[in-house]
Amino acid sequence: MLLSNRLKNQHLLWRAGFGPMAENAAALDTISQKKMWELLLHTSSKKPEKIDVATNLLDGLVKGVNDLVQLEKLTKEQKQAMRKQSRDDLKNLNLRWLDEMINSEAQLREKMSLFWHGHFACRVINIYYQQQLLDIVRTNAFGKFSDLLTGVSKSPAMLQFLNNQQNKKQHPNENFAREVMELFTMGRGNYSEKDVKEAARAFTGWGFNLQGEFVFRPFQHDTGSKTFLGKTGNFDGDDIINILLEQKQTAVFITKKIYHFFVNEKEEDLKIALLAKRFYESGYDIKKLMGDIFTSDWFYEEKNIGTKIKSPVELIAGIRRLLPLELQNDNAQLLFQRALGQILFYPPNVAGWPGGKSWIDSSTLMLRLRIPQIITANEAINIHPKNDDDVMMGQMTENKMMDKVNSSFAAKGSTATVDWVAVATIFESIPRENLLPKISDTILQTKSRISTVLLGKYLNNESRENYIKSAIINLMSTPEYQLC
């Protein structure tokens, strides 16, 4: 099968971003993949602005509260207000970041950030800590992995989530040390239980204050000699991270996860080994690793195109990028995330979202196929996703809030105003007889195509714009659109 230039460019935009945008989709027939990659790098080169949604109310409550002891001095009502405001702000943070994925030129940065968001899975209710962790991830998304790993490991969000605030000499807590090795660097089976215990001792004293500042407490740190991965010394947490980065297995583990996410879940050992070797020798330069992938010929081979199931966030962002629209109810996007199994900032567990076929079951597939109709056809829908107390972090108040969103959503629907004129410009130079194949090539990444004869029975022929509109919505409502 001869792959078109458009298909290859769309492949790059779906994997290194969230799919083509209406305003530039027409240019994908002519621009080269090399030029497209350079453009993705250029538009993501500027340091991102921190997404800050914390309210003045919350600022006022925590002002002057520097540690957990002082927090206890707050009244019960003040603590409740802080928790409620943090939950509300966390939802706003979710929508603000999703908006960046949809509208920002920095597509590569936001897609890399989504990958690291799952790799460094973390869920805490404190909005300040979540904002800070997101900023660390977005700032270092394709810089040096060593900087990203160190920044995340010293973030109050991760230290709290993995219990290192309770990791003290003579009473070490192994949770943080174990996950740094198992999930962040080497992967399970590449270290011993003794290594976990010794690393935990080294991480004693690592903590934080309520302002979101990393704090090393020397009086809580175990200063004794430790033996970790064959090395012996009076190690602290920074030493452990450096030793982990010295292990070539860390480069292999990270490269394999990146290959799964950006290329294909079916591993090719030789390619991964070569990529990992170059990644290690570059000093863990993430940008160089992604360049090795996205500028290779094999990335654009047919077996790698249209084979990945879009995550719920990728699906929502991709629809909104190609269809410029204004939602009447932004909270509907939170409901879609929850019903489809991927709420930003609420990973299911420390390992993050498993991805792949786990995104699809009988209920989520039916909803996925209906989303384009729901948001563009003024269709009301009543969705009541099951309460998952693990995902919701035990916050039953959160579930009640979501029930309110459900009720509002069921009553009002998720109506949207779509700029169909902007969408139609993608195809303005295409003759009517070639219109449906062109639209199909723009919407779908898969080899399989729905019969044009069958599809034609469902299209609106009243005008060219209505024809384009109905073709896009119907194609987005197919199982093939779930793949990229």
Q: With beta carbons less than 8 A apart as the criterion, state whether 119 and 184 touch.
A: yes
Helices (DSSP H) in 120-236: which residue ranges?
Answer: 127-139, 145-153, 156-161, 175-179, 193-202
**Rounded CA gap, 66 and 459, in Å?**
62
Host domain of residue 69: 56-246
3-class state of residue 378 by DSSP: coil
Structure tokens at 139: 């700032």
Average pLDDT over residues 226-236: 98
Backbone φ and ψ for 285, nearest 5 degrees, come out as: -85, 105
Q: Which percentage of the chain shows pLDDT scores above 70?
A: 88
Backbone φ and ψ for 465, nearest 5 degrees, come out as: -65, -40
Residue 49 inside a domain? The answer is no
Question: Which residue do the tokens 């940065």 mark?
Answer: 109
pLDDT tens readout for residues 10-41 = 999 999 999 999 998 999 999 999 999 999 99
Do 278 and 130 share a structural domain?
A: no
Kindly tell me if the per-residue pLDDT of 408 is higher than 50: no
Selection from 100, 110, 93, 98 nearest residue 52 by Cα? 93
Indicate the number of domains in the chain: 4
Residue 397 inside a domain? The answer is yes
Average pLDDT over residues 312-323: 97
Written as one letter, the residue type at 375 is I
Output the pLDDT for position 246. Answer: 98
Do 426 and 394 share a structural domain?
A: no
**Rounded CA gap, 237 and 233, in Å?**
12
Q: Which range (25-39, 263-277, 402-416) has the least confidence?
A: 402-416
Kindly tell me if the per-residue pLDDT of 407 is higher than 50: no
pLDDT tens readout for residues 370-384 = 999 988 876 555 666
Contacts 24+ apart (CB under 8 A), 290-296: 290/16, 290/108, 290/112, 290/142, 290/258, 290/262, 291/37, 291/41, 293/258, 293/259, 293/262, 293/263, 294/12, 294/15, 294/16, 294/33, 294/37, 294/40, 294/262, 295/33, 295/34, 295/37
CA distances from 223 to 168, 195, 215, 234, 235 (A): 11, 16, 17, 6, 8
DSSP state of 310: P
Which domain-ending residue is among 418, 453, 473? 418
Q: With beta carbons less than 8 A apart as the criterion, state whether 261 and 196 touch.
A: no
Output the pLDDT for position 412. Answer: 45
Selection from 313, 335, 329 nearest residue 382 by Cα? 335
Do 162 and 37 share a structural domain?
A: no
**Rounded CA gap, 285 and 274, in Å?**
14
Residue 431 inside a domain? The answer is yes
Do 334 and 197 share a structural domain?
A: no
Structure tokens at 252: 């292999």
CA 99 to chain centre: 13
Residue 268 inside a domain? The answer is yes
Output the pLDDT for position 376. Answer: 85
Structure tokens at 385: 């996703």
Which domain-ending residue is among 418, 441, 466? 418
* Beta strands at 214-216 and 206-208: parallel, antiparallel or unpaired: antiparallel
pLDDT tier at 65, thresholds 50, 70, 90: low
Do 223 and 101 share a structural domain?
A: yes
pTM of the model: 0.93
Do 431 and 406 share a structural domain?
A: no
Residue 48 inside a domain? The answer is no
Do 384 and 328 share a structural domain?
A: yes
Q: Which residues neighbour 419 within 8 Å (Cβ) at sequence distance 6 or greater? A: 22, 323, 324, 325
Do 136 and 86 share a structural domain?
A: yes
Q: Which residues neighbour 198 within 8 Å (Cβ) at sequence distance 6 or greater? A: 226, 227, 228, 235
Do 70 and 196 share a structural domain?
A: yes
Backbone φ and ψ for 434, nearest 5 degrees, come out as: -100, 5
Q: With beta carbons less than 8 A apart as the criterion, state whether 43 and 108 touch.
A: yes
Do 239 and 122 share a structural domain?
A: yes
Residue 189 inside a domain? The answer is yes
Do 206 and 68 share a structural domain?
A: yes
Residue 314 inside a domain? The answer is no
Residue 274 inside a domain? The answer is yes
352 φψ region: left (φ > 0), alpha (ψ -120 to 50), beta (else): left
